[in-house]
Structure 1
């Protein structure tokens, strides 16, 4: 009886579309079953459970690594690395393919932030601690993967899958019934996950649209001109203000410091050290951001003597900030630390 083996193909997403297609093509050419990450969007714990269940049932795990680390979980580990660690933990044979450092590669498909680069370096070191193949192009990857899979099947044969008409017996019928039921359940879960993701994307886009459409007149006192009547005001969007303050709200920040963050982007480091912008402006801005469910009072505990009010990003706020930063990185734009004076 001829067995078909199920191979999970894992990698970062946008930078390795063509390379992953080549590996999936090789799997199909060898008459086996590819499980591509295109089926999933590992953005939350519910979808991760689906992926983990798939890894539990695969025969081989193929990992493709280039010059991006990919999206990161709340625990600070990338989803690709999380898949790799889980497959290793489950004892699934790993077929690792790491790009050759000398191979040409587009700069826009490389990590630009130092923190992501450090994570990628550590991940590559982890993968290279086991036997891996180095590739230089998608065609090179196709050939090396095919050879590697054949060697794995010969040297480490797994349970695999066989056609129902090649086997008989009540146990087989029972197993097919179970798999059919499980497949229907998985499809239902995937559909729910996709609907949830679409809803989240709509919510993010709506928040960004509202932030961009609303403007505020803001000004800050400076050390040279500390009087309120000397303040020069500028028209900025709520999107600008959110981007200025959100980075410091990932954990939490006080209302006073939020005012200083805004003042810094308005007048630079010369802002007046005590309440450089009016308390009422900070209060109004926080109220607007809270109305959009982007910020909320911090849940962290503080000493009784600390009378300051603290704020932090909501889950939606973190997603909106992530979308802002992603767009800036994709377009190769450095986030501006100041805004230009109005004419």
Structure 2
């Protein structure tokens, strides 16, 4: 049981006066509001505070998702302080904190143990903190919803940091034909490829593939967040049927996706990963499974 489950039960026995006043004034919070944070740097492009807080209000959950713009130098102190706040029930991590956040988890899910990075941290009923990583699961679910076929596909993934590791593991355990992983840290790419290869039926390797044979090319780096960023990889040799996917959520159409579209290729937006990871995240945090996470008004 999560701390959120426990607190929700306790709050039902608390005087309704605060709730009545909050609803009457249409206030976003009262003294009983539970808090969730998303830690990242930069944070201005992140949609989670709007989407999560909107859904919590829509479904009558007295909770908010708040942004925390924290750089790496201040990350440990900021997260330790946040965990000490009694009405904080969970934290989401985006770039560049998914690996560093591991050291703040008392326990890990089996998935997080394998990936070795986390993007979720929840307060448990016993006061401990458990970490999970659902980026890859959300990414695969988003591909499937978008009609992108993974079975028998040859996949290229550019970058294997926190989000890349999660995607690599999730894609590598699908019924793909091959996965080639590139990273500027060649040893990191090799280590991830070898780990996935030990349990995958597909051909998993590190390096740069012949792009002419790639069915799905994924940018799993922050390259593209800024207008002046170069393309993370070339598109010229991709076959006409290839799909180009990005993990960046804002801008929705990154330079990579615009270039791919100009080449006549199908593109897969980064927002899909967040949208389809949200119900998995909600379950982890103890929030209701009935949330309409993928309503069109929220995907945008």
TM-score normalised by length of structure 1:
0.28
TM-score normalised by length of structure 2:
0.31
| Greater per-residue helix proportion | 1
When Rg is computed on C-alpha atoms for both structures, the one with the higher figure is: 1
